Structure 1
Amino acid sequence: MSTLLLALVAGGVIGLALGALGGGGSVLTVPALIYLLGFTPAAATTASLIIVTATSATALYAHAASGNVRWKTGALFAAAGILPAIAAGALAARLPAAVLTAAFAVIAAFAALRMLMPSDPDRPRASAGPARSAGVGAGLGAVTGFLGVGGGFLAVPALVSAVGLRMRVAVGTSLLVITVNSLAALAARAGTHTPLHWAVIAPFTGAAILGAWDGKRLSAKISGSTLQRIFALALLGVAALMLVDALR
């Protein structure tokens, strides 16, 4: 299979997961770039930030049009993550490949287990204080910058539990946080001379954006809990493979 076709297929599948689940699908972008398209871990995390920024900004526009974005809340949450995202992004570009791969495997496993945990997504929770919200926002920024993932699997529950938003609004607002953090991390990597293969990144991004729209339609036909369990089990398998690869 040609590199272009692989990029289109991988981008479409990941976009489908993003659209169907409302977050978490981008965590597969880095392993797809490494194992299917031959990127190094450093190049994959940088390319992933480009893909995540583009898809998140596109989805943010759609959610904003539906009134599901709390701009002030999202801006404050994102502001706490900008400096950690920049620092983590600069650090990640200088670490050994095995360290990045192992760290990503741990985060992917955590994301999968988090998805398998039962929850009541529509029940709003008490809003936490500004200190805790800032701490959560900073942690999310660090994860986004270090591993090149959007972090929707962390941002959405954080906005529900730490800020008190309902699920639909939390998903829309998380896209603002993810977009800002991804841009900050990309700025930190601008001077690292990491090679960017635009012939792969561009079609991958386009397919992911288109796939996200199909994912929204898929979510209307299959229950969200079923889709989430299937995705979480697949993600656990990917995490296990990456951890084995890092320890070899």
Structure 2
Amino acid sequence: MTLLLALVAGALIGLSLGALGGGGSILAVPVLVYLLGQDAGQATTGSLVVVGVTSLIGAVTAHRAGNVMLARGVTFGVVAIGGAAAGANASAHVADPVLLAAFAALMLLVGGGMAFRQVRHARQFSCGHQSEAGSRPRRPTLDDPIIAFREGFMCDCPRAVKVLVTATVVGLLTGFFGVGGGFLVVPALVLALALPMTYAAGTSLVVITLTSAAALAVRAGVGTTPAWTLVATLTAASAAGGFAGVRLADRIDTTKLSAAFTVLVLGVAVYTASQALPALV
């Protein structure tokens, strides 16, 4: 019965990732805790496997489609590794109720952000502010380096600081909560590296893969061991669901699906808070 729940939950997580392009991984922790009986430490570690594998598969697919700026994604991800390691180490020393309460707050923030974007999109659509079909942004080039050593030392220091801060925050969240952090990585890539949204979404998967791997390596050294059979089942089902979601995206109304997923995230956040907050008292 537990493996069946893992299959169903993993498929739903993958479907949301494939059809909506992100967000589903944030459900992995509450699924592991409340459906599959893992403690918070085990769940946040196991979630990194689900997130990392799913992101790697997505990154390869996006790269083949030409939507990944690999050099920039690797650079941002490498900078974020320090934050991921620090976050993973800190998470191992936090009590389960505190970790789950903080995770509930994060889910509420993500769900609120998703709802805000959907309302704004609906208003723009009703006002006729739609982008023209086929208006794919120009692929960015690497002719604007932040730091260069050609013909002397050159540094765009304000931009370098922005990259360092945003990458470190992304890494901290990934390591501490065991989530992909795509909701933060995508806008960070847009703001810090000036990537168009089309390329930021694909490139973010490279960043998430690197930070998840770094955080998982740290977790492996602090004795947090999840139930690997459940994690493997959840991961396999998520990967399969992701493939199905990509195909469904062209056949279903993703606007309605996104709205339903937002409600689901907010509902799970409220439930997680209701379970975690009383334990803090």
If the TM-score is normalised by the length of the shorter chain, which range does it land in?
A: over 0.9
* Alpha-carbon separation, structure 1, partners of 2:231 and 2:243: 19
Residue of structure 2 aligned with 1:161, choices 186, 191, 207: 191
Residue of structure 2 aligned with 1:201, choices 231, 235, 245: 231
User: Helix, strand or coil for the counterpart of 2:223?
Assistant: coil
- Where does residue 109 of structure 1 map in the other structure? 108
Residue of structure 2 aligned with 1:222, choices 252, 260, 267: 252
- Where does residue 179 of structure 1 map in the other structure? 209
User: Helix, strand or coil for the counterpart of 1:129?
Assistant: helix
**Which consecutive residues of structure 2, in runs of 5 or more, have no partner in the other structure?**
122-129, 138-143, 145-157
Q: Deviations over 1:141-181 (max 9, x none)?
A: 10000000011111122222332222221111000000000
Aligned AA for 1:66? A
Shift of 1:218: 2.1
User: Helix, strand or coil for the counterpart of 1:14?
Assistant: helix
- Where does residue 51 of structure 1 map in the other structure? 50
* Alpha-carbon separation, structure 2, partners of 1:70 and 1:187: 25
Aligned AA for 1:113? G
Aligned AA for 1:17? S
* Alpha-carbon separation, structure 2, partners of 1:5 and 1:203: 9
Residue of structure 1 aligned with 2:160, choices 130, 140, 147: 130
Report which of the two has the higher share of helix: 1
Shift of 1:106: 0.8
The higher radius of gyration belongs to 2
User: Helix, strand or coil for the counterpart of 2:179?
Assistant: coil
- Where does residue 23 of structure 1 map in the other structure? 22
The alignment's C-alpha RMSD in Å is: 1.9
User: Helix, strand or coil for the counterpart of 2:222?
Assistant: coil
Shift of 1:196: 2.4
- Where does residue 173 of structure 2 map in the other structure? 143
Counterparts in 2 of 1:207 and 1:80: CA distance versus 1, 3 Å? same
User: Helix, strand or coil for the counterpart of 1:220?
Assistant: coil
Aligned AA for 1:61? V
Q: How many residues align?
A: 245
Aligned AA for 1:188? V
TM-score with structure 2 setting the length: 0.83
Aligned AA for 2:183? F
* Alpha-carbon separation, structure 2, partners of 1:49 and 1:31: 13
Shift of 1:241: 1.0
TM-score with structure 1 setting the length: 0.93
Contact 2:38/2:226 (<8 A) preserved: no
Listed as ranges, the matches of 1:225-236 within 5 Å are 225-236=255-266
Aligned AA for 1:246? A
Does 102-111 or 223-232 show the bigger shift? 223-232
- Where does residue 191 of structure 1 map in the other structure? 221
* Alpha-carbon separation, structure 2, partners of 1:28 and 1:197: 17
Q: Deviations over 1:170-205 (max 9, x none)?
A: 111000000000011011111221222122111111
